[in-house]
Chain A
Amino acid sequence: MTELRLHRELYAGTAVDAAVKTYARFAEFELREEPTHWVVRVTAKSEARATQIARELANYALGTTIRERGGRS
């Protein structure tokens, strides 16, 4: 199990949701909201795979957030 903590001021909630939906068929996800972070728990066949999927998910969520907020100049 790998836990990913994404700061709510830096990552859009909709982007995190979209990322989880995209990678839903590769692992199991558990989402939790904290006052400052979106917390995503990733469970996969192996720890290495969970880490890999968590990193890909974080990239996806960041890319989507940036496109949503128009930060790409």
Chain B
Amino acid sequence: MSSPLEALPSELVTADLVSGAVHLRVDLTLYPLSAVYASAYVFLDRCFVLLDKPDAHTVRVTLAPRKAGADEAVLRAFVGEFSNELLSAAWRQQIAQDNRAVIEMVTSQAISAAMGAPSLDDLAGFDFGDESFEDPLGIAMSWEEKYKKKVAPAEGAAAPSGDEPGGEP
């Protein structure tokens, strides 16, 4: 028979003192499933862990300590430890997700640095062509090319003044 544990919310945690097991309801909108998995894995050596999914957003975790005769204090300790582990796992996952771009950049830099300088063969095979080079701001253009004298569009148009860039002094 399930009964609430003192000082723990009864809608989230119930205990079965006869069978020595405790049940927790984990909201998947707060804790990702991978965090539930990570926390459950930590307890496999000390508890029998059973997961169930009563609805789409809830995982029901049952912890039954391997040592027989678990009383209310032992079950409460397991609930607290599991909850802490769950929060820790969720937070670690959030940090990893936030820093994924930085981690990938540092890793790729480390790998490319470990590969060393390119050899002459690598350079010989490198494509220095202009085909795929994009320069929307015109940074790679020469000064002459960028500011070359424009052809007059039609007769009677005003000639460019000498102080314009690209104009004759």
> Residues of A at under 8 Å CB distance from B?
5, 7, 9-11, 36, 55-56, 58-59, 62-63, 65-66, 69-73
Given A55-B64, A63-B41, A63-B44, answer yes or no on A73-B34 (Cβ-Cβ < 8 Å): yes
Query: In the complex, A70→B93 CA distance in Å?
Result: 12
Number of CB contacts from chain A to chain B under 8 A: 53
Does the CB pair B49–A58 fall under 8 Å?
Answer: yes
Q: Give the contacting residue for A66; candidates B40, B64, B93; CB below 8 A.
A: B40
Does the CB pair B52–A10 fall under 8 Å?
Answer: yes
In the bound complex, residues from chain A placing their C-beta under 8 Å from that of B41 are 62-63, 66, 71-72
> Residues of B at under 8 Å CB distance from A?
33-35, 37-38, 40-41, 44, 48-53, 59, 64, 89, 92-93, 96
Considering the complex, give the chain A residue whose CB is closest to the CB of B88: A73
Give B8 Cβ to nearest chain A Cβ, in Å: 23
Does the CB pair B38–A72 fall under 8 Å?
Answer: yes
